[in-house]
Amino acid sequence: MTAAVADRRAVRRALPTVPAWWADVAGSAAVLSLLVVTALWTADRGVQELLGGAATGLTSLGRLAGLVSADLMLIQVVLMARVPLIERSFGQDRIARWHRLAGFTSVNLLLAHVALTVLGYAGTARQGVLAEIWDLVVTYPGMLLATAALALLVLVVVTSLRAARRRLRYESWHLLHLYAYLGIALALPHQLWTGADFLAAPLARAYWWTVYLLALASVLVYRLGLPAWRSARHRIEVAAVVPEAPGITSVWLRGRDLHRLPARAGQFLLWRFLDGAGWSRAHPYSLSAPPNGDLMRITVKDLGDGSSRVAILRPGTKVLVEGPYGRLTGEHWRGGGITMLACGVGITPLLALLWELPYAPGEAVLLYRARTPADLAFRAELDRLAAERGLVVHYLVGPRAARPSWLPAYAEGMPDAAALRRLSPDIAAHDVFLCGPDGWVGAARAATRAAGVPDARTHHECFAW
């Protein structure tokens, strides 16, 4: 066995892995929970009431909508609790998409639950809809809290729409998004006190208490407990702040026993800098250099959402961390050739990977896209990698193409896949790593497919909120 092959195997062994079957188990558990909810509704005469007349049918259908809505809300809480097994099985990109889908679906079902239940109760009581709404809110236990919960959850959904998110600062969106936890908590008393399916049988109570407690435990342990423990253990603080390019700043961080922080090149953490107001809002920044002894580095682009504060951090500023997260790591590398495509600050995690992976000279190709030469960060570091490690670097500088493309405007006359094969002739046999804005990554993925790279060998992570 050659030394290079031994090094590659050592890197892959050192990276934390999750059994491949775990993703199937987690996905099956989510589907099973929805089947259990439906079974509990059926056992409580849900089907008979559905077929028993217009009013009872509407009420029964409203019960089912509310049960499925509650289950989906708890699933999305667990999805975003950053449970390590789940996060490493699916990756943050996919989890965020599922969280968004579950969130919109659960709130739509919640609105359906309210509408169907009001219509069903009004039909049974033979009174108007507005009168029935008043009776429900004023006389039923927990309904005032449930009404507040509905308002908070609708607020979260409205501010999560793309049009609204584009108009909100990250900090504002993040703060509003946290109201989802409060909304779910306020809805629980209504389910406890008046939910027929919650109170129907010991099995139903056992199921709902179990899933609520699991969701609560996942948040307390992985969103609060583990980050607090790691922050206290490693005592991270700012060591130095270094400008890399216009609007791009690196922060060197020092701490205690950072080699024990389970962070790998390509991953990101959520950072809270204790430098004044706004410290409570975390920001996701990727490592641009893996932990080395008691130092590590992140690199941040000034997007005007609080990231501008990074450039004026003072050495000694204390830092709280949450993570690491992300699957854009060397564990996916199977040995052999590597092609990396970066756009803008997307160079950050790929640079860390280029330092970590033990590729042979000439095996690694980097295609680095930027708008202007001044926007190229880490130029000296990349030149050093080229000289010392044999990295092949192609800088693609210029305005974006008029059509959807990963290429700059000056090369838009060449097909995207043909340009890839020209710059990295053996790309079809390479592992490909992509990082950049959503639209750019989408165009780059389409080009890698057309160039013959299987999806299983294309690894990507987008930075967007």
Rg value, the chain, Cα: 26
Same domain, 288 and 308: yes
Q: Say if residue 86 is in the same domain as residue 42.
A: yes
Residue 304: phi and psi, rounded to 5, are 75, 15
Q: Give the per-residue pLDDT at 19.
A: 64
pLDDT at 21: 66
The token duo for 270 is 């959520």
At residue 164, the pLDDT reads 66
Same domain, 177 and 221: yes
Domain hosting 77: range is 17-229
Q: Provide the pLDDT for residue 465.
A: 46
CB neighbour list of residue 447: distance below 8 Å, 6 or more residues apart: 406, 416, 417, 419, 420
Q: Does residue 3 fall inside a structural domain?
A: no
Q: Give the pair of three-digit tokens for residue 433.
A: 């790593």
Whether 244 and 204 share a structural domain: no
**In this predicted structure, what is the pLDDT of residue 264?**
84
- Determine the 3-state secondary structure of 286 from DSSP: strand
pTM across the whole model: 0.76
Which runs of consecutive H residues, i.e. helices, occur in 15-142? 21-43, 46-50, 54-79, 84-90, 92-125, 129-139
What pLDDT does residue 462 have? 61
Per DSSP, the residues of 130-197 read HHHHHHHHHHSTTHHHHHHHHHHHHHHHHHHSHHHHHHS-HHHHHHHHTHHHHHHHHHHHHHHHH-HH
458-462 and 431-436 as β-strands: parallel, antiparallel, unpaired? Answer: parallel
Structural domain includes residue 359: yes
Output the domain CATH number for residue 335.
3.40.50.80
Is the same domain home to 28 and 130?
Answer: yes
Same domain, 216 and 304: no
Of 285, 310, 325, the last residue of a domain is 325
Number of domains in the chain: 3
**Do 218 and 239 belong together in one domain?**
no
Please return the burial class of 130, using the count of CB atoms within 10 Å of its CB with bins 0-12, 13-18 and 19+: exposed
In a domain, 379, yes or no: yes
| Confidence at residue 18, expressed as pLDDT on a 0 to 100 scale | 62
Is 12 within a domain?
Answer: no
Domain end among 290, 325, 360: 325
Asked, for residue 65, whether it belongs to a domain, the answer is yes
Q: Where is 386: in which H helix or E strand?
A: helix 379-389
Q: What is the four-CA torsion angle of 52, 58, 64, 70, rounded to 10 degrees? A: -150
Q: What is the per-residue pLDDT for 91? A: 73
Mean pLDDT by 10 residues, the chain (465 residues): 38 52 78 90 84 86 88 87 80 79 87 88 82 79 78 79 68 70 75 65 84 91 92 93 87 89 86 80 84 85 73 91 85 88 90 91 94 88 93 93 88 89 93 90 92 90 56
- Verify that 210 and 92 share a domain, yes or no: yes
Determine, yes or no, domain membership for 1.
Answer: no
Q: With beta carbons less than 8 A apart as the criterion, state whether 183 and 153 touch.
A: yes
pLDDT of res. 45: 81
Q: 328-337 pLDDT, tens per residue?
A: 888 878 888 9
From 302, 325, 348, give the residue that closes a domain.
325
Question: What pLDDT is stored for residue 1 in this prediction?
Answer: 31
Q: Verify that 458 and 393 share a domain, yes or no.
A: yes
Token code pair at residue 58: 């509407």
Residue 336 forms part of a structural domain: yes
One domain for residues 124 and 191: yes
Positive or negative, the CA dihedral 439, 441, 447, 450 is: negative
**Spatial distance between the Cα atoms of 345 and 291, rounded to a whole number of angstroms:** 19
Question: Residue 168: what pLDDT?
Answer: 67
**Per-residue pLDDT reduced to its tens digit, 399-410:** 988 888 999 988
Q: Domain for residue 11, yes or no?
A: no
CATH code assigned at 309: 2.40.30.10
pLDDT of res. 160 = 74
Indicate if 158 and 303 belong to the same structural domain. no
Are 294 and 166 members of one domain?
A: no
Length of the chain as a residue count: 465
Q: Render 190-236 in DSSP notation, one character per residue.
A: HHHHH-HHHHS-HHHHHHHHHHHHHHHHHIIIIIIIHHHHHHHHH--
